[in-house]
Amino acid sequence: MKLFYKIDSIITKYNILILLIVVLQSTNIISFAQEKSFENSNFVLDFEMNNYSMDDVKEHFFTTYPHNDPTEGDVVYDRVRWENKDLIQLNNEEGLFLYIKKREADSNFDSFRLTSKSYYNLYSDEHKIMFVFKGKLPSGNSVWPAWWLNGGREAEWLYEAENILMEDSDLDLFSGVGEFYNTSSQVNSTDWPGAGEIDIIENINGQKLIHNTIHACPSMCDSEWNGDGEIINCANAKDGDPNAGCSGAPYEVDSPEGTFVCILAKSSIQFYYWPNFANVRYDGGPLSDNPDYTIWDKKYLKNEVLLRETDAECDDELHQDWQCSTCSESTSCSFVNMKMIFNITLCGKWAGLQFDDSETPLQNCKKFVSEEGREMINNQFMKIEYVAVREI
């Protein structure tokens, strides 16, 4: 009898505890059961094959960036300041359309910068993470679209700071507050390049070239691209650019659209590309339920970089004080807490400086954006037909 009494007592106490939890949750006193981990959260958004709502998009991405453009482009990413409220449009069975539109208040353009809420880390030498994007990029003079990964270690970036929320409305509080280089938020980490950056797609000025680049601290990584035997530091400082990064060979495309894949591993990164007409949904293909990169035709592998530890250090003559400061603890070849970003900017530090062969390319780019190129640029868009992250 005593045994049954104890069991009955335990069950009663357990039921009371469950009831208490339900009541407390309903009054928002506790919410631990509703918390979601945003580290290494795999997901698939297949806009061609499924119907979604904007809530599905916002489950995985912040859709505003309330800071000024770190590349100094002629765009506004902050939705509070947007004149155009229809920059992001979801058309089911077609894709997510992300527009750039002219402003009347100034010569800049409203643009978008999507940042994934999840961040990604490698846990072992065997662990790999696959990032997949199928869609279309805009193209033209001054235009600089990108799909890339950026890391950070700050509390805001990792949602460890006080009063951190996961909605765009929380980011609105940063509108007009500080500069990108001194204002940390859920979508902005001021310790760049201390956790690394991987550029999977960059295209500028209407060129039919896709660029793959890595940015890191001098003390993080050396690299060897495509087995060419040349060892390049992934800060690779050059005159006028304290972090030019290390890059593979740009590859040519008929148009900037198709399927792009980045496979991140501890000691290597692979960059794949299939043109728009290619079959990518076959069994084991990049858009299949179970992608198997070991069976992919090597002609689709456009760049492969082998990562090596380095004994390089910050150099006062090559690097700036802020760079060496953010790199003080980055002494191994690790890309950490990587978030996925989609954006379009105009001109800026790269497309602007490569706009033409004159002595004033950036000024000429800005003039083009504000005058003759204004209508050409207006309503250009990036289309996301499929985006996914998988651990393999």
Look up the domain containing 319 and give its range.
Answer: 36-391
Among candidates 248, 149, 157, 265, which has minimal Cα distance to 196?
149
Residue 302 and residue 288 share a domain:
yes
3 pLDDT above the threshold of 60: no
Residue 97 and residue 51 share a domain:
yes
pLDDT of residue 324: 83
Residue 153 and residue 5 share a domain:
no
Query: CA–CA separation, 188 vs 210, rounded Å?
Result: 25
pLDDT of 346-384, one tens digit each?
999 999 999 999 999 999 999 999 999 999 999 999 999
DSSP, res 298: G
Residue 105 and residue 3 share a domain:
no
Among candidates 273, 265, 228, 272, which has minimal Cα distance to 246?
228
Among candidates 248, 243, 152, 241, which has minimal Cα distance to 191?
152
316 pLDDT above the threshold of 90: no
With cut-offs at 50, 70 and 90, classify the pLDDT of residue 322. confident
Residue 8 and residue 83 share a domain:
no
Query: CA–CA separation, 99 vs 89, rounded Å?
Result: 8
Residue 135 and residue 4 share a domain:
no
32 pLDDT above the threshold of 90: no
pLDDT of residue 243: 87
Residue 275 and residue 379 share a domain:
yes
Residue 12 and residue 81 share a domain:
no
Residue ranges of alpha helices (H) inside the chain are 2-26, 54-60, 168-171, 321-326, 361-370, 374-377
10 pLDDT above the threshold of 90: no
Residue 146 and residue 56 share a domain:
yes
What's the structural domain count of the chain?
2
pLDDT of residue 33: 28
Residue 147 and residue 25 share a domain:
no
248: CATH: 2.60.120.200
Residue 245 burial (10 A CB sphere; 0-12, 13-18, 19+): buried
DSSP, res 22: H
Among 31-45, 72-86, 87-101, 185-199, the minimum mean pLDDT is found in 31-45
6 pLDDT above the threshold of 70: no
173 pLDDT above the threshold of 70: yes
| Average pLDDT score over the chain | 91
Among 22-36, 47-61, 219-233, 238-252, the minimum mean pLDDT is found in 22-36
194 pLDDT above the threshold of 70: yes
Residue 81 and residue 9 share a domain:
no
Query: CA–CA separation, 137 vs 254, rounded Å?
Result: 12
30 pLDDT above the threshold of 80: no
Any bridge partners for residue 210, and if so which?
A: 251
Residue 299 and residue 371 share a domain:
yes
